[in-house]
Amino acid sequence: MVCAYFRFVEGSAKGLAQGTVRSAVDEFREQALRCPLPAAVELIGEKWAFLIVRGAFNDLHHFEEFQAGLGIARNILSDRLSKLVSGGILKREPDPSDKRKVVYSLTSKGEALMPVVLALRQWGEAWGSGPADIVLVDRESGIPVRKICVESEDGRVLNKHDDLIWVHRSEAQPVRKGRAA
- Cα separation of 179 and 175, whole Å? 7
Q: Are 68 and 116 in contact (CB under 8 A)?
A: no
- Cα separation of 31 and 41, whole Å? 17
How many domains are there within the chain? 1
Residue 125 sits at the vertex; the CA angle it makes with 36 and 109, to the nearest 5 degrees, is 35
Q: Is residue 94 part of a domain?
A: yes
* CATH number reported for the structural domain that contains residue 94 in this entry: 1.10.10.10
- Cα separation of 37 and 32, whole Å? 9
Q: Is residue 69 part of a domain?
A: yes
Q: Give the tens place of pLDDT for each residue, 96-145.
A: 999 899 999 999 999 999 999 999 999 999 998 888 888 899 999 999 99
Q: Is residue 64 part of a domain?
A: yes
Dihedral, CA atoms, 24, 27, 31, 37, nearest 10 degrees? 10
Kindly report the pTM of this predicted structure.
0.76
Q: Which domain holds residue 85?
A: 45-127
Q: Is residue 140 part of a domain?
A: no
Q: Is residue 35 part of a domain?
A: no
Per-residue pLDDT averaged across 58-74, rounded?
97
